């Protein structure tokens, strides 16, 4: 996958040079290209923003540098890559969106800043994405969140399929509790079932705990229509258990 990023602050993306994303880049599974929007302005002072028409506080990013940057990126491409604008008004990002975007061969991210971007760039945008109902300084941090999540879904990025299929949100539920050595720590013991070596019982325990954790912390994530009959029975037991507490 090729990821092109249009930003005013390329240096902010240094976290993508570490950990899993770095390994994926080293293996050429993920290629990330950073484009400084200031490099595409015709203004001698490299200005990329101006006062908003109609008045108001703050500055607005100009359309022209972004158009020029997009033309540069797409000049030799047969088809324009799917282009994403990171904006508070976009569709809220979730695991389903990550799966969808991971199917693309190339993505372009445009990171907004200041009070917004000239509305005329919307002709370039295929989808608008938000990471939550709050305001941050610019689209850079939000883009990194989306890029990290999407990259994990690209085949070959993680060491095994199970690495992401059993993580929180992959199947709509939170992940079950995890334990490692030592077996007993400060009088807290690892559940016996995890030491039993009985894989069927371990899987059943994990599914139960996943449902229980989701029921307690994020009941809004539970889609009863997608639950199996076994899941529904477990959930009924969990509901009864919670009522008895």
Residue 87: strand, helix, or coil: strand
| Residues in a beta bridge with 5 | 34, 109
What would you report as the CA-atom Rg of the chain, rounded to the nearest whole angstrom? 23
Tokens encoding 111:
């990171």
Measured between alpha carbons, how far is residue 19 from residues 25, 110, 159, 160 in Å? 10, 24, 13, 16
Tokens encoding 18:
């570490």
Q: Binding residue per annotation — 73?
A: no
Q: Binding residue per annotation — 53?
A: no
Start-to-end CA span in the chain (Å): 49
Q: Binding residue per annotation — 56?
A: no
Task: Catalogue the E-assigned strands of 93-232.
Answer: 106-111, 127-130, 184-185, 188-189
Q: Binding residue per annotation — 134?
A: yes
Measured between alpha carbons, how far is residue 33 from residues 4, 17, 123 in Å? 5, 12, 22
* Full DSSP string of 112-153: --TT-B-GGGGGG-SEEEESSSS--S-HHHHHHHHHHHHHHT
| Residues in a beta bridge with 109 | 5, 84
Q: Binding residue per annotation — 125?
A: no
Q: Binding residue per annotation — 131?
A: yes
| Residues in a beta bridge with 111 | 86
CB 3 within 8 A of CB 31: yes
CB neighbourhood size of 209 (10 A): 20
Q: Binding residue per annotation — 222?
A: no
Annotated binding site for S-adenosyl-L-methionine: 112, 131-136
Known binding-site residues equal 112, 131-136
């Amino acid at each position: 996958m090729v990821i092109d990023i249009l930003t005013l602050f390329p240096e902010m993306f240094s976290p993508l040079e570490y950990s899993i994303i770095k390994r994926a880049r080293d293996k050429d599974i993920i290629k990330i290209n950073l484009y400084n929007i200031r490099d595409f302005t015709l203004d001698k002072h490299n200005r990329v923003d101006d006062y908003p028409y109609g008045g108001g506080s703050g500055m607005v990013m100009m359309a022209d540098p972004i158009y020029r940057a997009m033309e540069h990126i797409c000049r030799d491409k047969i088809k324009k890559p799917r282009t994403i604008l990171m904006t508070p008004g976009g569709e809220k990002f979730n695991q389903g969106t990550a799966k969808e975007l991971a199917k693309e061969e190339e993505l372009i991210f445009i990171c907004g800043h200041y009070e917004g971007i000239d509305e005329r760039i919307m002709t370039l945008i295929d989808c608008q994405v938000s990471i939550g109902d709050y305001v941050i300084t610019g689209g850079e941090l939000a883009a990194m969140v989306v890029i990290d999540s999407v990259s994990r879904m690209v085949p070959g990025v993680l060491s095994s399929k199970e690495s992401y299929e059993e993580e929180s949100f992959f199947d709509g539920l939170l992940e079950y509790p995890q334990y490692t050595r030592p077996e007993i720590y400060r009088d807290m013991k690892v559940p016996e079932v995890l030491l039993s070596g009985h894989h069927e019982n371990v899987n059943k325990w994990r599914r139960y705990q996943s449902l229980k954790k989701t029921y307690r912390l994020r009941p809004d994530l539970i889609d009863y229509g997608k639950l199996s009959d076994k899941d529904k029975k477990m959930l009924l037991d969990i509901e009864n258990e919670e009522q008895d507490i």
